[in-house]
Amino acid sequence: MERGLILLVAALVVYVTPSVQGTAHLSFSNATVDINRTGCGVSKLCVETPNDCDPAGESSCLFVSVIATRPVAPNGAMLSIELRGDSSGYVALGLTVNASEGATQLFICAQNSANNGSFFFRTMDRNNSDAALTPTETRVNEIRGMVNGTMIKCEFNIPNVNATNLRTSHVTTASILLGIGTSNGTALGPFDIRLNSGLLNFADPAANVANVTMPNSGGAVQPHAVLLLLSVLSLPVMLRA
């Protein structure tokens, strides 16, 4: 039976320890998080595995869509995210410049099996060298999420995304990692990478090329030789090459 409680967070800075979710004003609604392929390649950039799977269907589909606003100095751009996947723990979007070095910033949508499969949201940094996860502070707003069995759907915005030392046109260029992991409601297991998109310009809905699907493991991903720094305002740790 679909759980109708949808987590709505108007605006917050998410800060978590391994056992405590960041505090915020929460409200609940019976609205549905509707994620589909409408607009893919035209108004939003879509990345998924398996290729061309349907996030609105019942079959397994790990899917993310990204809409990037035009960068405005000095605040950069805002990314509007839709994320859908199947997991008894969590599904996550990773943003990184180099998936084998530096860090990946993870945006995690999860269910708490110890609390009737309720939805929760966290942000973490993943060390790309040893895959270790570290709680981080990230500004995220308009979070909406729901759980139906193992299906997890969520929407959220990442404001003030900036690049440094490069032209404004590169503000929204990074690699997308999609994956899943385990959760016992307090601790999160390793991020199991299922797909690495390679470098994409989020401002171009048609930027996605052939996806590189990863093995069913958290193994290393080939590096991308690009000097780019993507930062999110109020993050103590920058995505770094």
Specify the higher pLDDT residue, 138 or 90.
90
Q: Indicate whether 139 pLDDT > 90.
A: no
Residue 165 has pLDDT above 50, yes or no: no
The pLDDT of residue 235 is above 60: no
30 pLDDT above the threshold of 60: no
Residue 123 pLDDT level (bands cut at 50, 70, 90): very high
In this prediction, residues 202-214 reach a mean pLDDT of 71
- 172 vs 129, residue with greater confidence: 129
Which domains does the chain carry?
6-232 (2.60.40)
pLDDT of residue 48: 97
- Mean pLDDT, range 7-13, rounded to an integer: 40
Q: Examine the pLDDT at 151 and tell me if it is beyond 60.
A: yes
Q: What is the mean pLDDT of residues 116-144?
A: 92
Residue 122 has pLDDT above 70, yes or no: yes
Q: 119 pLDDT band (50/70/90 cuts)?
A: very high
Residue 217 CA from chain centroid, whole number = 18
Higher-confidence residue of 212 and 182: namely 182
pLDDT exceeding 90 applies to what percent of the chain?
Answer: 52
pLDDT-derived band at 194 (thresholds 50, 70, 90) equals: very high
Residue 96 has pLDDT above 50, yes or no: yes
pLDDT above 90 (res 117) = no
Give the neighbor-by-neighbor strand order of the sheet with 212-213. Answer: 133-135, 118-127, 103-112, 90-96, 173-181, 192-201, 212-213
Closest CA to 176 of 202, 155, 145, 210: 202
Amino acid type, 213: T
